[in-house]
Amino acid sequence: MRPYIRRLDSTEDAREIMENIGCDPEGIKIMENKMLSLSFIADGINSAGANILKQEMLAVGGEAAVARGTANCSVEKSGVLLHATVSQYLRLVEKLRDQPFGLSALAEDIRDGLEAYLQGPRETRIGKITVPSSRPIIMGILNVTPDSFSDGGLYHHPEKAVARVMEMVDGGADMVDIGGESSRPGSRRISAEEEWKRIGEVIRTVKKETDTPISVDTYKAEVAEKSLALGVEAINDITAGRDERLLETVGDAGAAVVLMHMQGTPETMQKNPSYEDVVGDILSFLRQQVEKAAEHGIKDIVIDPGIGFGKALAHNLEILHHLDSFRVLGRPILIGPSRKSFIGGVLDLPVEERLEGTMAAAVTSLMMGADIFRVHDVREVRRALDLAAAIRDCSIPKYFNSWSC
């Protein structure tokens, strides 16, 4: 057989191929970390430190790109692009542990990022759900609002809302996200009292009808507290815990939290959003908020880069293209592309015709490392993701009882 190119997505891929070749087991242990190469980006490195970093990276066989002027320190600070195998990074970390100019801290960040990226997110509980799971987790959307961009006004009555929840569960939803305030671009804010009036009875009724985990889409501590008192398993906060009272409430309840990035507010977020580095900026913000949530005793934390929340079309596409970058935080990734305007922007389609675009974005996100998918069209996305997961894992999912051609 003539040689062909084979992409390696993980050290496990390399290990499997070497086992098939018949390599010595001890040799596999030595070689597996040499088979996968990755890039790290860092900024704000002192020029003297960047020089040391470049020298040490070259010494272990990797590569480091720094700003012009770094060598003679004519620039104060430099960004750095590193590229190396896992094995080379591990050797670099050892070399940097006792170095000055913040390099020892950088070494710890590289080590922790490698571990999180390669091993996947830490185990996270949302009610009876454990993430990561052998199957993609579907979060069905229930908007109990009169003005949501896609389904506003459809499920405002408790009976219709509960019927919709049961329909989504039957279609394959693993959990349901209930929201009482629209966060579409330009939407108006409502009081905690009005929000609770919309969702309180719906939550009570749903919790009586199903043991499916429920999250509540709110950024208000008062609404979160009342929801958690009714047995809700998670709070989905579009402000990522900027109100620390909400984090304290979730931590005291022992519940899970979803921390989502949003630039600005729903009223202003789509008025010329801008970033220096959209992925890097969001990653830095989410890292900060994850640490803050952990300080409030929250163990089960999910991150969401916030597709459509303070992002232009190009920003949304770049986030999805580089979604795997968020894996370095070691937390499950939630993605919410459902019927969003970026789909309409690419395909020139109205909201009611964005199903295929939603499915494409969900499948792409799965391949990039997403764990939870917040969608309106549960049954259709469930089918698409189950097939995509079988392709990704190169195996028939264990949750299928049979498989026929």
Q: Mind telling me the catalytic residues?
A: 340, 374
CB-based burial label for 351 (10 Å; 0-12, 13-18, 19+): middle
Instruction: Single out the residue of 362, 278, 369, 358 nearest to residue 318, CA to CA.
Output: 278
Bridge partners (DSSP) of residue 78 are: 45
| Token pair of 92 as six digits | 């670099």
Read off the amino acid at residue 371: D
Per the CB < 8 A criterion, the answer to whether 254 and 17 are in contact is: no
Helix (H) or strand (E) holding 128: none
| Token pair of 291 as six digits | 């640490």
Query: Residue 265 phi/psi, 5° resolution?
Result: -125, 165
**Half-sphere exposure (CA, 13 Å, Cβ side) for 75?**
16
- Distance between start and end Cα atoms, the chain: 29
Per-residue CA distances from 129 to 136, 169, 205, 211 (Å): 11, 14, 21, 11
Helix (H) or strand (E) holding 131: strand 129-131
Per-residue CA distances from 194 to 30, 144, 232, 261 (Å): 61, 11, 19, 24
Bridge-based pairing state of the strands 37-46 and 77-85: antiparallel
Query: Residue 354 phi/psi, 5° resolution?
Result: -105, 20
What is the distance, to the nearest Å, from the Cα of residue 176 to the centroid of all Cα atoms in its chain? 17
| Token pair of 398 as six digits | 């264990």
Q: Three-class SS of residue 330?
A: coil
Question: How far is 320 from 247, CA to CA, in rounded Å?
Answer: 27
For the chain, state the CA radius of gyration. 23
Question: How far is 280 from 275, CA to CA, in rounded Å?
Answer: 9
